[in-house]
Amino acid sequence: MDVTQMYQDIILDHYREKHHAGLREPFDAEVHHVNPSCGDELTLRVKADDGSVQDVSYEGDGCSISQASTSILADLVIGRSVEDTLALYDDFRTMMESGGVGTPDEDRLEDAIAFQGVAMFPGRVKCAMLAWSALRDALMRSGAVSNLGPDRSDDE
């Protein structure tokens, strides 16, 4: 597998110019997630008090995969219902756990489809999942959803 297939232009573009970056007010919950093995760190805030994700803001330090994933996540979920955001989380996670061999729905995942190649590199799946796990945690802490239980991508 050619590594340059993992680093799709969409990923590199989001890495160079992150969307919705920076920590903003107001917010309902703030979480700090890390990837202890490589040191990626992410602080993520969510505003979601009327059944939809009104804002996601963040500050992080990490590799292109984790940074681009955060940027694309923000693009995709701001303005989306909380319920559909969690469903999208499941779709994204399914793709990341597929080993890169599934047929994810491009219309549904939009720019996030670019991470399908990352799924072929098991060591990098956590990088792509970091923001999504943080968002799920933040939604639980904000009270926008009830406790969903532990995140499967944290099980190792």
Partner 1 sequence: MPERYDVEAIRADYPILSRMIGGYPLAYLDSANTAQRPKPVIDAVADFAFNHNANVARAMHTLGVEATAAYEGARAKVAGFIGAASPREVVFTKNASEALNLAANTLGASLKPGDEVVISVMEHHSNIVPWQMVCERAGAKLRWFDVTDDYHLDLAKAEAENLINEHTKVVSLAWVSNVLGTVNPVAEIAGQAQAVGAVMVVDGAQGVPQRPTDVATLGADMLAFTGHKLGAPTGVGVLWGRYALLESLPPFLGGGEMIEIVRMESSSYAAPPARFEAGTPPIMQAVGLGAAIDYMTGLGMDGIAAHEKELTSYALQRLGAIDGVRILGPQSYDDRGGAIAFTIDGVHPHDIMQMLDARGVAVRGGHHCARPLHERFGITASTRASIGVYTVEREIDQLADAVVWTRDFFAGKGR
- Of 58, 31, 62, the closest CA to residue 127 belongs to 62
* Least distance from partner 1 to the Cβ atom of residue 62, Å: 6
Nearer to partner 1, 41 or 49 (CB): 41
Residue 55 region, left (φ>0) first, then alpha (ψ -120 to 50), else beta? Answer: beta
Region binding partner 1 by CB under 8 A among candidate stretches 23-31, 55-63, 83-91, 141-149: 55-63
Q: Which amino acid is at 26?
A: P
- Assess 117 for contact with partner 1 (CB under 8 A): no
- Assess 94 for contact with partner 1 (CB under 8 A): no
| Segments in the chain forming alpha helices (H) | 3-6, 9-16, 64-77, 82-96, 106-109, 125-142
- Assess 151 for contact with partner 1 (CB under 8 A): no
Q: Report the helix count and the strand count for the chain, using DSSP H and E.
A: 6, 3
Nearer to partner 1, 93 or 124 (CB): 124
Positions that interact with partner 1 (CB under 8 A): 2-4, 6-7, 12, 37-41, 61-67, 121, 124, 127
